[in-house]
């Protein structure tokens, strides 16, 4: 396993690393979702999709703790994992070692928008809950960079937060949100949510053919390829 350590850190996610996966594994009911089992059930559905479709040489952008690794790693020849948070990547490295996939993984601690990738090298670009923290300028740069990184036949997989009637009652669709850790510390982050119409808009804007493969209470998952 190759590891590169540099780059700035998003403090909230760096501090949250140890408890980041609790919603996936233990369930829970954040302020915007009343069903405590929704996260667990939908994470399982998305894991099944990744296991079925993702293969080849992959880059996992904003990989965090590497929660989805176990779903797709066995199908992939090479895995590049990039995140700005070293604490998140420390958790990810534990998974890599547990899964015994050290030889096929490279871990990069850096800002995706700054790090220079080679062009036309990836079969798949996966990103989970990264696009929802991007402003309009970052979103544009994100898709422009993906177009350079992906092979002509490559595709992107985007997992993110679903905009729903239930969330609409307690949150704004985009803007600054307050997030709290289990120890009571609070942070402010930029966040936006997606629905099927938003995905269609993204496709038209950036000339991408998107297919929505999961549309639930909390998550939306869609894959795309450049036209």
Domain that holds residue 115: 2-226
Cβ 151 vs Cβ 210: under 8 Å? no
pTM of the full structure: 0.90
Q: Compute the distance between CA of residue 125 and CA of residue 194 in angstroms, rounded to an integer.
A: 19
pLDDT of residue 38: 83
pLDDT of residue 9: 45
**Residue of 24, 5, 9 lying closest to 69 (CA atoms):** 24
Q: Compute the distance between CA of residue 116 and CA of residue 215 in angstroms, rounded to an integer.
A: 33
pLDDT of residue 25: 66
Q: For the chain, what is the domain count?
A: 1
pLDDT of residue 6: 40
φ, ψ dihedrals at 133, nearest 5° = -105, 5
pLDDT of residue 209: 98
Region at 210 (left for phi over 0; alpha for psi -120 to 50; beta for the rest): beta
Domain containing residue 80: CATH number: 3.40.50.150
Q: Which residues of the chain have pLDDT under 50?
A: 3-9
Task: For the beta carbon of residue 3, count every other beta carbon within 10 angstroms.
Answer: 13
Please provide the DSSP assignment of 163-202 as one string: P-HHHHTTS-SEEEEEEE-TTS-EEEEEEE-B-HHHHHHH
Predicted confidence (pLDDT) per residue in 26-63, tens digit: 555 555 566 768 888 999 999 999 999 999 999 999 99
């Amino acid at each position: 396993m190759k590891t590169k350590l540099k780059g700035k850190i998003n403090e909230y996610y760096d501090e949250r690393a140890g408890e980041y996966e609790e919603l996936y594994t233990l369930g829970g009911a954040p302020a915007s979702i009343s069903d405590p089992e929704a996260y667990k059930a939908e994470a399982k559905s998305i894991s099944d999709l990744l296991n079925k479709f993702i293969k080849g040489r992959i880059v996992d952008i904003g990989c965090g703790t590497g929660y989805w690794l176990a779903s797709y790693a066995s199908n992939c020849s090479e895995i590049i994992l990039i995140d700005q948070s070293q604490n998140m990547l420390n958790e990810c490295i534990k998974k890599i070692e547990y899964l015994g996939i050290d030889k096929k993984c490279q871990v990069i601690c850096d800002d995706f928008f700054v790090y220079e990738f080679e062009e036309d090298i990836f079969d798949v670009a996966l990103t989970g809950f990264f696009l929802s923290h991007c402003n309009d300028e970052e979103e544009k740069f994100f898709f422009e960079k993906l177009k350079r990184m992906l092979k002509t036949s490559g595709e992107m997989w985007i997992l993110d937060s679903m905009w729903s009637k239930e969330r609409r009652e307690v949150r704004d669709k985009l803007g600054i949100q307050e997030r709290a850790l289990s120890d009571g510390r609070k942070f402010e982050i930029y966040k936006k949510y997606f629905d099927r119409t938003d995905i269609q808009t993204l496709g038209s804007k950036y000339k991408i053919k998107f297919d929505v493969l999961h549309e639930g209470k909390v998550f939306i998952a869609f894959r795309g390829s450049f036209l």
